[in-house]
Chain A
Amino acid sequence: MRGNPYLPALAKIVKTRRETPDTATFRLEIEGSGGLEFTPGQFIEVSAFGYGEAPFSISSSPLERSYVEVTVRRVGNVTRALFNMGEGGVVGVRGPFGRGWPIEEMKGQNLLMIGGGIGIAPLRPLIEYVIAHRNSFGDVILLYGARTPKDIVYKEELERWREHIDVRLTVDVGDETWRGRTGVVTVLLDDVEVDPRETYSVQCGPPIMIYFVTRRLVEMGFTDDRILFSLERLMKCGMGFCGHCMIGGKYVCRDGPVFKYSEVKGLLEPALVR
């Protein structure tokens, strides 16, 4: 850890890739360092100087050390600034922060991954890891739901991933080109046949998705310690100080953002909300 954990490292946006009309993936190269070592599921704080700082899940492969990528939806001041800066822009990076997916624990097991919208971002490094270590995992299914076909991110990756894992898509609302499933991501769960005793479920998406998917997974027989999700809260500092991400006695930034359902089920304040 650097001397002052509030002081970001400087990084250059070396590549941007438009994913959807309002979402892009930014590749960041950190100046004067050998990159960033992280666990899939961890996040970084990205600064757009003059606009502030915002937390983003790392969306690139952990095997790629020379850069990190974040997938960003243009919804606020910091994200708008990143879009305006584009390639060549200089940003700040702090982190990685938090606890990622428990990869070692999940080895040898089946994985049922469920992503909603841009919530698929923290699953991407996990998927890349799994594909690179394909023999260490059993059956791997990715269920991904987006609002419309235009909102599907990682289109190239999804095609490549299909060669290694079972990828199933749905959109809330289709268009004239869409031949796949429609409906929220839980409709894909209806066709999933896995043994919940030998499977870890791994989700990230909007709160309402996690709320309903978790209910469904419980019905399917998943025990609470096999239901994993990455929770979204406002995280300003990343170190459990600023208080915004607190749920019960836990800080999402430091104790999460990845939690097992069993770890947050008993909290006084409900962690899963609609």
Chain B
Amino acid sequence: MERFVVITKEDFTVLLERLLGAYQVIAPVEREGRIFLSYVSDPAEVNMEYKGTTLLPPKRFFFPEVEVLFTYRVTGGRVELYDKLEEVRGAKRALLGVRPCDIKSLEILDKVLIGEYKDPYYAARRDGTLIVGLTCNEPDEYCFCAFTGSGPQASGGFDLLMTDLGDRYLVEIGSDKGERVVNLNLDLFKPASKDEVNEREEMLKRVEAEIRRQELPDLTKVYEAFAKNFDAELWLEYGRRCLACGKCNYVCPTCRCFDVYDEPSLDGSSGKRVRVWDSCHFLSFTRVAGGKVFRSERPSRVKQRIYHKYCYGVDEIGEIECVGCGRCIKVCPAGIDIREAAKRVVEL
């Protein structure tokens, strides 16, 4: 099998219809002028022409913002538990139109959540989901993936990776799973020519050059600079500006901290154990029994997220955990720009 095939945009609509028959399809859709990843039922809903990133990253389709881990019932001094994992298993899904930065974020989450311990809810959803990526033709002003080693090219982590070449898509096959999809739809694909493959390379080079117009250090190698400046003045400044709202955590494709609590029914006879996304910017995040809070000062909480991205990630999984998507910059009400922070740290 060739590594590269092409499909016309007309035929892609046919492919979408077929995928909708075989998978639950998640794809970019436009709502009120913004792009979301969403379950779709009609090819007409899908927007594969969007610029930059989706408003929210794909993590919620693997690690939802609210997840019931199990339910319980208490009857006459007995407790019965009902595992919700079974409901997660077995779903066959296709995630379409996901950017290389976000593909990288899933690879990072894999390393964290499927390691010595395995998060079974996340792992089951990952197992059942086909990843069909889409490279950027036009980054937005927040994109900096070229500096985090996570774009605009994707080096892995996808089953298929599409590039928009105008009237057709060049498709790179990244796995056996992806190859099977192509094989099952051979009437829609044809082998790519050398020119088409080159066209993609040119396109990605152009996108990379555009992203590199901003001057940033190589963010995969800022560990030492950050380590040296843990107590630097600038963190006090960021601490003063940060509103501790947690938006950066929610839109970050690799932030996965969570809280766990019980939601009982009114009479207490049953209930559910729920996990929800949490934020290291919240005061409650490090509060232990008895009331002590380990990160009571805001600078320490601002630092927790940024250091987790550029240093602790390296300690934890051997690479930085920022993919340069720029979403945290886009949503920060205080205008905190993680790129600028990293650049300032390197220049200290």
In B151-209, which residues have CB < 8 Å from any A CB?
none
Is A143's beta carbon under 8 Å from chain B? no
Chain B min CB distance to A204 (Å): 14
Is A53's beta carbon under 8 Å from chain B? yes
Query: Which B residues touch A249, using CB under 8 A?
Result: 311-316
Query: Which A residues touch B334, using CB under 8 A?
Result: none
Chain B interface mostly: mixed
Is B120's beta carbon under 8 Å from chain A? yes
Query: Which B residues touch A79, using CB under 8 A?
Result: 289
In B92-118, which residues have CB < 8 Å from any A CB?
112-113, 115-118
Chain B min CB distance to A245 (Å): 8
Is B227's beta carbon under 8 Å from chain A? yes
Q: How many B residues touch the partner, as a band?
A: 35 or more
Inter-subunit contact B314/A49 (CB<8 Å): no
Surface stretch bound by A, among B16-24, B45-53, B74-82, B212-220: B74-82
Give CA–CA (A83, B286) in the complex, Å. Answer: 24
Chain A min CB distance to B130 (Å): 25
Inter-subunit contact A4/B312 (CB<8 Å): no
Query: Which A residues touch B285, using CB under 8 A?
Result: 234, 243-244
Query: Which A residues touch B83, using CB under 8 A?
Result: 4, 7
Is B125's beta carbon under 8 Å from chain A? no
Is B36's beta carbon under 8 Å from chain A? no
Inter-subunit contact A8/B268 (CB<8 Å): no
Query: Which A residues touch B4, using CB under 8 A?
Result: none
Contact residue among A8, A239, A242 (Cβ-Cβ distance under 8 Å from B278): A242
Residue-wise interface mask of A (10-29) relative to B, using a CB-CB cutoff of 8 A (1 in contact, 0 not): 10000000000000000000
Inter-subunit contact A242/B259 (CB<8 Å): yes
Inter-subunit contact B264/A50 (CB<8 Å): yes
CB-based nearest B residue for A50: B264
Inter-subunit contact B315/A248 (CB<8 Å): yes
Q: Count CB-based A-B contacts (< 8 Å).
A: 134
Query: Which B residues touch A248, using CB under 8 A?
Result: 311-312, 315
Given A88-B77, A268-B230, A250:B315 Cβ within 8 A: yes
Inter-subunit contact B311/A268 (CB<8 Å): yes
Is A164's beta carbon under 8 Å from chain B? no
Give CA–CA (A90, B257) in the complex, Å. Answer: 29
Inter-subunit contact B286/A234 (CB<8 Å): yes
Given A50-B271, A76-B289, A88-B77, A241:B113 Cβ within 8 A: yes
Residue ranges of B at the interface with A (Cβ–Cβ < 8 Å): 69-70, 72, 74, 77-79, 81, 83, 85, 112-113, 115-121, 226-227, 230, 256-262, 264, 268, 271, 273, 275, 278, 280, 285-292, 294, 300, 303-304, 307-308, 311-316
Supplied contacts A75-B290, A242-B275, A246-B304, 9 more A-B pairs, CB within 8 Å: A90-B77, A90-B78, A92-B79, A92-B81, A233-B286, A234-B286, A234-B288, A243-B285, A254-B117
Closest 9 CB pairs of A and B: A249-B315, A243-B257, A239-B117, A50-B264, A249-B312, A90-B79, A6-B69, A52-B262, A75-B289
